[in-house]
C-alpha cells in the first residue's frame, strides 16, 4: 500500500486536526468550493472506523493576515504555507492594494510567519501599495482540515483516511488509488 502522508495523533487528543492539501493526479490542487467534502477512515482490513462524514471537515480553512506595504509581505503566525502553494485572499472591507479577491496567487518568499504573493510560481512578489482595511483572510487552494471527535481517537492503532469530493456530476476519492493518509493514533508519551 502506498501512503500519501502520515498524521500522528495522541489517543484521546482532539486538538490535533488532520490538515492536508488535496491534489489532482496532475499535481494541481482541487478547488474544493465546487464539492461537498467528506472524510472516512478505516482499518487495514477495510473495516470502517469513521463512516463517511462532513462533521469536522473544513474545506479551504481560512487564516487572518496583515499586509505590509513597505515589504510586500503578508504576516500570519505559524501559517503553514509552503513555497508555491496556490493562495486566494478576501477581506471584510478592502484588500491591500495590489491584491484582488477570487484570484489565484502563488506563495513566494515564505518564512514561518510571513510570505509574499506572486502571479506565477517563483515569480516576483506583488507590489502591495497599501495595507487595505478590515479583516483580511487567505486560504490555500485544495486545503482541507478534519477535526477528530473524542470517539474517533479512543483506540490506539494505525488507520487509513480518505476524503470524498462530491459534485452534481461526480464523486472522487482522494488521495487517489491505493494511497491513503495513514493516521497513527498513539498512546500518550509515545
Please, what are the averages of pLDDT over each run of 10 residues along the chain (190 residues)? 76 92 91 95 92 96 97 96 96 97 97 97 96 97 95 93 94 85 88
Q: What is the pLDDT of residue 1?
A: 44
For domain 63-140, give the CATH number. 2.40.30.180
Domain locations along the chain: 5-59+144-186, 63-140
Asked if residue 1 lies in contact with residue 178, where contact means CB atoms within 8 angstroms, the answer is yes
Please tell me the distance from the alpha carbon of residue 19 to that of residue 40, in angstroms, as a whole number.
14
Number of other residues whose CB lies within 10 A of the CB of residue 77: 10
Burial class of residue 143 in the structure, from the number of CB atoms within 10 Å of its CB (0-12 exposed, 13-18 middle, 19+ buried): buried
Please tell me the distance from the alpha carbon of residue 51 to that of residue 126, in angstroms, as a whole number.
44
Closest CA to 23 of 122, 121, 140: 140
Asked if residue 32 lies in contact with residue 165, where contact means CB atoms within 8 angstroms, the answer is yes
Please tell me the distance from the alpha carbon of residue 145 to that of residue 184, in angstroms, as a whole number.
16
Please tell me the distance from the alpha carbon of residue 7 to that of residue 19, in angstroms, as a whole number.
9
Please tell me the distance from the alpha carbon of residue 19 to that of residue 146, in angstroms, as a whole number.
7
Number of other residues whose CB lies within 10 A of the CB of residue 120: 9
Indicate the pTM of the whole model. 0.88
Q: Length of the chain, please?
A: 190
For domain 5-59+144-186, give the CATH number. 2.60.40
Amino acid at each position: 500500500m502506498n501512503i500519501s502522508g502520515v498524521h500522528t495523533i495522541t489517543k484521546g487528543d482532539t486538538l490535533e486536526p488532520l490538515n492536508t492539501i488535496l491534489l489532482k493526479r496532475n499535481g494541481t490542487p482541487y478547488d474544493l468550493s465546487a464539492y461537498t467534502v467528506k472524510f472516512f477512515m478505516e482499518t487495514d482490513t477495510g473495516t470502517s472506523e469513521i463512516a463517511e462524514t462532513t462533521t469536522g471537515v473544513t474545506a479551504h480553512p481560512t487564516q487572518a493576515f496583515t499586509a505590509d506595504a513597505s515589504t510586500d509581505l503578508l504576516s500570519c503566525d505559524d501559517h503553514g504555507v509552503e513555497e508555491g502553494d496556490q493562495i486566494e485572499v478576501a477581506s471584510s472591507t478592502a484588500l491591500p492594494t495590489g491584491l484582488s479577491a477570487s484570484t489565484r496567487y502563488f506563495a513566494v518568499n515564505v518564512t514561518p510567519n510571513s510570505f509574499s504573493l506572486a502571479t506565477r510560481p517563483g515569480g516576483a512578489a506583488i507590489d502591495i501599495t497599501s495595507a487595505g482595511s478590515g479583516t483580511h483572510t487567505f486560504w490555500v487552494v485544495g486545503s482541507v482540515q478534519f477535526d477528530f471527535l473524542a470517539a474517533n481517537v479512543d483506540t490506539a492503532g494505525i488507520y487509513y483516511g480518505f476524503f470524498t469530493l462530491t459534485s452534481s456530476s461526480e464523486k472522487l476519492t482522494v488521495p487517489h488509488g491505493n494511497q491513503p493518509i495513514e493516521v497513527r493514533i498513539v498512546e500518550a508519551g509515545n
